[in-house]
Amino acid sequence: MTRHIRHAALFCVLLLAALLVNAARVQVLRADAYGADPANRRDTITRYQQPRGDILVAGRPVTGSRDTGEHLRYERTYRDGPLYAPVTGFASQEYGTTLLEHTEDGLLSGADPVLAPLPLWNEFTRSRNAGGKVMTTIDPAAQRAAYEGLRSRKGAVAAVEPSTGRVLALVSVPSYDPGLLSGNGRTAREAWARLNADPDRPMLNRAVQRTYPPGSTFKVVTAAAALDAGVVDDLDEPTDSPDPYTLPGTTTRLTNGARGCADASLREAFVQSCNTVFAKLGVTTGVARMRAMAHGFGFNDGDLRIPFRVARSTFDTTVDRSQLALSSIGQYNTRATPLQMAMVAAAVASGGQVREPYLVERTTRAGGGTVSAAGARPVRRAMHPATAMRMRELMRGVVEDGTGKKAAIPGTVVGGKTGTAQHGLGNSGTPYAWFISWAQREEDMEPRVAVAVVVEDAANRREISGGGTAAPIARAVMEAVLKP
Amino acid sequence: MSKAGITLETVDPPAAPTVRLPRRRGIELALIVLAVLLSVYGYCAVGLARNGTVPPGAAGYGAGLGVLALVAHLAVRWRAPHADPLPLPIGVLLNGLGLVLIYRLDLEAPGDPAAPTQLVWSTLGVALFTVVVLVLRDHRVLQRYTYLCVTVALVLLTVPILFPAVNGARIWIRVAGFSIQPGEFAKVLLAVFFAAYLAANRGALTYAGRRVWCLQLPTGRVLGPIVAVWLVSVGVLVLERDLGTSLLFFGLFVVLLYVATGRTGWIAVGLLLASLGAAAVGRLEPHVHGRIETWLHPFASIEAGEGPNQLAQSLFAFAEGGILGTGLGLGHSVLIGFAVKSDFILATAGEELGLAGLSAIFLLYGLLVERGYRAGLALRDPFGRLLAVGLASIVALQVFVIAGGVTGLIPLTGMAMPFLAQGGSSVVTNWTIVALLVRLSDRARRQGGGGDIR
C-alpha cells in the first residue's frame, strides 16, 4: 500500500506543478497581452481614479473634474464648454479624447513619465502622478468675441499673434458641450448619438479640421507672389487686364462683382477684389512661383500641429493655365483652413515671416513646476520684407476705402481682405463669406493680432460677402485683443 | 518509510516501543502566532491601501482569530499532543488570509459585507475542529459508522434537489437566512465511507473475481455497493450541476481504489469511464457544454461584443498581478462579478499578491496535503491510511479543480477554494478535514517506530 500512497502523492505533486506552471504562464508570459486587451478595463479604471489635470485659459481652468464615486471615478467637467470645445476637445470615459485633451492626455491623466519624480519610480511603485496642467495661448476676450460674433451662424474664427504664432482664438460654431460626453452612462451615449447625427456637425472643429475654398482672400497670396517675383513693380501701374477675362485655352469668361476692373492697377484691383486682374496675374506669375509662395505661407503642409493636427490646406500644383487662373483667386482646388488664412494675414503683418502657430504656452506638474514651455518656433520667410510692406499697404487700403470698411477700428491700423467663395455643384451652395485681417495700435511696434473669419451661411445670398458678414466679427476679435 | 510498513499494516503492533518523540507543540504555537500576525498585517495593509489608516477593527479581528487559534491549539495540546504541528497553523493562515481577502472585497460593495458572516462560520469551523480533536480519541471509531456515513452523505447530496437553483447550480439549501451547501459535508462522510469500505474489502477487491483479458475483476458483490454509491453521488451532482464536486468525488474514488488495491487497471477503467461520462455530459448538457466552450475560447464573448466573461476577467486579474502583485487592496478583481468572493477568490489573491503570493498559497495547500499523505504513510491500519490519503486528496483535488478552473488550465467548475473562499459549509468542512488529519497524525506519531513523522 505504501508504494501506492507514494504514487498518489506523486500525482498530487504533478497537479501542484501544473497549477504553478500555469499560474506563471498567465501571470508572467501572457501578462502583457492580457493587460493590453481592450476589454480589460484596468487601464481605464486607473486613468479615472484621480482627477484629471486642467486646461487653463489666461490662468483660469476651463476644465474640471467631478468625483462620481463610481468605478470610473472622476469625470471631466467643462466651464464654457461650447466656447472652448474647439480648443479642449472632449475627454470621455466612453469615447476617448480629442484635440488638446488628446494630445496632452499623458500629461493631464498623469501617465506621462516626465511627471515622475524619479525615472522608473512609477514602474516600481505602480503609482501614477497627479495630472499636470496645460496653459493655453488663448485670449479669453478674443475667444468670446469670436464666439459671440458667430452666434447662430455657422462658421469659424482663428486668430494668431503674428510675432509669435500664439493662437489667440479658435472658434467653431455650432459647437457642443464636451461635458455631455464625459461619462459613460446613458446620457453620454445619447449625446454622442445626437451630436453625430446632427447635420450641422457641431463636433467638427471648423477652425482647423475643415478646409474651405478661400475665395478672394487668396488674392493676398497671388499679390504677394506677383510682387515678390517682380511681375508687378508699381502698385499703381495699370496691369493690362481685360474685363471680362477669358480663361487661357478656354472660352470661359471670368467676370467681376465690382466695376472698374479693366486694366486696373494692383492697388485698385486688390481694394475692389477684381477677379479678372488676379486670375491673369496668377497666370503671369506662373505655377512654380505661385506654388512656392503658397507653400511659404503653409499651404500643402500636412504636418502642421498646434499640437493637434491641422487639416492640410491645398494649392493644386498640377494645373493647366485656366485652372491656375481660378486657383489664383482661391477657387478650383484651392482650399484653406481658417487657421491657415490667419497665418496668411499674420505673415503679411509680421514683415513676411511665418511663425508656426501653437496653442500650448506651457505645461506644468500639478504642483506648478514647469514640464515644458513653448520654445522658439520655426520661422519661415514667406516673402521679401519689402513685399510684406507693400502687401500691408494693399490690405490697409481694403479696410480704409475698399470692401472691408466694416473692420476699421478708430485709432488702429487695420489691414484686411474680404472673400466670397463659391462652392457646391455649379456654385449652387450659399457662398462662404471670408475676412482675414490684422491690426496694430498706433503706439505698438508691430501688429498684435491676425484673424481669419469664415461664415458658412447667412440669411440670404446677397448679404453674403466677406465685408458685410465676416468683417465685423474680425473687428470684434481684434478689438478684444487690442483692448488695453 | 521502511519496507516494514507493508508487513505491519494489517496487524496492530503488539506494543508501541516507548520512544519519546518530540511533541513539537511549541513550534505549532509559534507558527500559529506567525499566521495570526500575517493575517492582521494583511488586514492592516488593506486598510492602509484603501483609506490610509489602519482599519478600526484590526485589533479585534486579530484578537478574534488569535483566540480561535489558541483554543484549537489548546485542544490539540491536551488531546493530540503528538500531532503534526503543521496542519493547524496552515488552516489558521489560510482562513485568516481568506478573511482578509473577503474583507478587502467587501470594501468594493459596502452594502453586502460577507466577512462578518465568514468569521462566524470560521468560528463554527474551529469549534467543530476542537470538538473533533477532543471527542474523537481514536479515528478507528469512525469505521463503526461506515453505513451511517454513506446514508447521511447521500441524503445530504440529494436534499438540495428540493430547493431552487442558485446561479445555475442546485446545491444550496436555505434555512432561516443561512444558505448551506450540504454537498460540502458529504465530502468528509464519503471519504470515511470509501476508506472504511475499501479497507474492509481490500482482499476481495484485489484477488477475488474473474479475470477478463488482463484485468482481474473483483466480484460484483464487493464492487457493487461502492460503485453504486459513487454513481449515485456523481449522478446526483450532475443533476444538480455541481461539476466541481462530482469531479472531486470521482477523483477521490479512483485515488482510494488505486491505493487500496494497487491496481493500475482501476485507474485506466476509471479514466475511461470518466472520459466517456465527460464526453457525454459535455455534449448533451448545455451548462457543461458552455463551460467547456468558455474554457477553450475565454475571449469569445469579447469578440462577440458581449464584454469579457468571468473567466476572461479572472485571467485579466491574474495577469495584472504579475510577479509581485498590485498590493492588497489595490487590484480590480471585483470586475469579475458576483462570484468574486467565492469561486474566484483566488483571482484577488493572484492580482494583489502576484505570482509570488499565489505560489505561496499553493505551497501551503501542498504542505497540508503532504502532511496528510505523511500521516497516511506512517499509520498502520488500512482504514487510517486510506482516510488520511482520502482527506489529503480531497484538499489537493479541490485546490486543483478550482485553481485550475480560474486560471484557465481546466474547464471551470464551481467550487470553493478551501479556507479562502466565502462559504460557510466549505470552511466548516475543511476545518473538520484538518481536525481529522491532526487526529490521524497524532495516532501515527504515537505509534512510534516506523510511524514517526519527521
What residues of chain B lie within 8 A of the CB of A24, using their CB? 355
Does the pLDDT value for residue A459 go beyond 90?
Answer: no
**Does residue B13 sit within a domain?**
no
Q: How far apart are CA A342 and CA A361, in angstroms?
A: 19
C-alpha–C-alpha distance, residues B197 and B218, integer Å: 14
Per-residue pLDDT tens for A233-284? 899 999 888 888 999 888 888 888 777 888 899 999 999 889 999 999 999 9
- Which residue is catalytic, options A65, A175, A182, A216? A216
Nearest alpha carbon to residue A200 among A170, A169, A171, A176: A176
Q: Is residue B2 part of a domain?
A: no
Cell for B307?
464584454
B153 within domain boundaries: yes
Nearest-angstrom CA–CA distance, B37 and B41: 6
Question: Does the beta carbon of B9 lie under 8 angstroms from any beta carbon of chain A?
Answer: yes
Check residue A312 and report its DSSP letter: P
What pLDDT is attached to residue A368?
Answer: 86
Position with higher pLDDT, B407 vs B415: B407
The answer to whether residue B60 is domain-embedded is yes
Q: For the segment A55-109, what is each residue's pLDDT rounded down to a tens digit? A: 999 999 999 999 988 888 899 999 999 999 999 999 999 898 999 999 999 999 9
Among A1, A33, A40, beta carbon nearest to B6: A1
Predicted confidence (pLDDT) per residue in B47-88, tens digit? 998 888 888 888 888 899 999 999 999 999 999 999 999 999
| A265 given a catalytic annotation | no
What sign does the dihedral B303-B304-B308-B312 (CA atoms) show?
negative
Q: Do B358 and A23 touch (CB under 8 A)?
A: yes
Among residues 291-310 of chain A, which lie with CB inside 8 Å of chain B?
none
Q: Of the ranges A153-162, A341-350, B178-187, which one carries the lowest mean pLDDT score? A: B178-187
In a domain, B216, yes or no: yes
The answer to whether residue B1 is domain-embedded is no
Mention every residue, 6+ apart, whose C-beta is less than 8 A from residue A258.
Answer: A272, A273, A274, A403
Residues across chain B: 454
d(CA B47, CA B93): 19
pLDDT tens sequence across A188-199: 999 999 999 999
Residues of chain A positioned with their CB less than 8 A from the CB of B408: 22, 26
pLDDT single digits (tens) A275-328: 999 999 999 999 999 999 999 999 999 999 999 999 999 999 899 999 999 999
Of B346 and B23, more confident: B346
Measured between CB atoms, which of B258, B302, B400 is closest to A15?
Answer: B400
Rg over CA atoms, chain A: 28
Are the CB atoms for B246 and B238 separated by under 8 Å? yes
The type of residue at A269 is A
Count of the separate structural domains present in chain B: 1
A residues 402-441 closer than 8 Å to B (CB): none
Indicate yes or no: pTM above 0.90. Answer: no
Rounded-to-integer distance, Cα A416 and Cα A393, Å: 10
Rounded to the nearest angstrom, the minimum Cα separation between A75 and chain B is 19
A27–B354 C-beta distance less than 8 A: yes
| Residues whose CB falls within 8 Å of the CB of residue B172, separated by 6 or more in sequence, listed in order | B160, B163, B166, B179, B180, B181
Amino acid B412: pLDDT:
87
Please give, rounded to a whole number of angstroms, the shortest distance from the CA of A89 to a CA of chain B. 28
Distance of alpha carbon A284 from alpha carbon A88, whole angstroms = 44
**Do B393 and B370 touch, CB atoms closer than 8 A?**
no
pLDDT at A460 over 60: no
Is A39 close to B302, i.e. CB distance below 8 A? Answer: yes
> Residue B407 and residue A1: Cβ atoms within 8 Å?
no
Q: How many CB pairs under 8 A join A and B?
A: 136
Whether B229 is in a domain gets the answer yes
Output the pLDDT for position A220: 95
Assign B16 to helix, strand or coil. Answer: coil
Q: Which of B6, B362, B397 sits opposite A2 (nearest CB)?
A: B6
CA A10 → CA B176, B319, B333, B398, B450, distances in Å?
A: 44, 29, 33, 16, 21
Q: With an 8 Å Cβ cutoff, are A27 and B321 in contact?
A: yes
Task: Name the percent of chain A lying above pLDDT 90.
Answer: 69
Q: Find all residues with CB under 8 Å of B385, minimum gap 6, and list them.
A: A1, A5, B9, B199, B259, B376, B377, B379
pLDDT at A450: 97
Residues in A touching B3 (Cβ below 8 Å): 2
Q: How far is A111 from chain B (nearest CA, A)?
A: 17
Question: Which residues in chain B are contacts of A5 at CB distance < 8 A?
Answer: 259, 373, 376-377, 385, 389
Distance from CA of B404 to the nearest CA of A (A): 6
Provide the pLDDT confidence category of residue B234 given band limits of 50, 70 and 90.
low
* Per-residue confidence (pLDDT) for residue A479, from 0 to 100: 95
Average pLDDT over residues B353-376: 96
pLDDT of residue B216: 63
Instruction: Tell me the nearest-neighbour CA distance from B308 into chain A, angstroms.
Output: 6
Name residue B331's beta-bridge partners: none
Q: B residues 382-401 near A, CB within 8 Å?
A: 382, 385, 389, 392-393, 396-397, 399-400
- The confidence score (pLDDT) of residue B129 equals 96
From A302, A387, A26, select the one nearest B351 (Cα to Cα).
A26
The ipTM, to two decimals, is: 0.90
A14 vs B: CB within 8 A: no
All residues at 6 or more sequence positions from B427 whose CB lies less than 8 Å from its CB, including other chains: B95, B98, B118, B121, B122, B124, B125, B419
pLDDT at B451: 42
User: Which domains does chain A possess?
Assistant: 215-361+375-482 (3.40.710.10)
Q: Is B408 on the interface with A (CB under 8 A)?
A: yes
Instruction: Give the model's pLDDT for residue B176.
Output: 62
The domain in which residue B410 lies consists of 24-449
Any idea what DSSP says for residue A344? H
Give me the residues of A, 71-130, that contact B with CB < 8 A.
126
**B300-334 residue pLDDT tens:** 888 888 888 999 999 999 999 999 999 999 888 88
Q: Which residue has the higher pLDDT, B31 or B279?
A: B31
C-alpha dihedral sign at A420, A421, A422, A424: negative
* B322: contact with A, CB 8 A cutoff: yes
Predicted pLDDT of residue B9: 46
B64 part of a folded domain: yes
Could B332 and A41 be called an inter-chain contact, meaning their C-beta atoms sit closer than 8 Å?
A: yes
- DSSP calls for A189-215: HHHHHHHHH-TT-TTS-TTTT--B--G
Orientation of helix A287-297 relative to helix A275-285, angle to 10°: 100
Task: Please give, rounded to a whole number of angstroms, the shortest distance from the CA of A122 to a CA of chain B.
Answer: 12
- 3-class DSSP string for B330-348: CCCHHHHCCCCCCCCHHHH
How far is it, in rounded angstroms, from Cα A434 to Cα B94? 75
> How confident is the model at residue B202, as a pLDDT?
81
Contact A1 B9 (CB under 8 A): yes
Q: Find, in chain A, the residue whose alpha carbon is nearest to that of B299.
A: A39
CA distance A447 to A460: 34
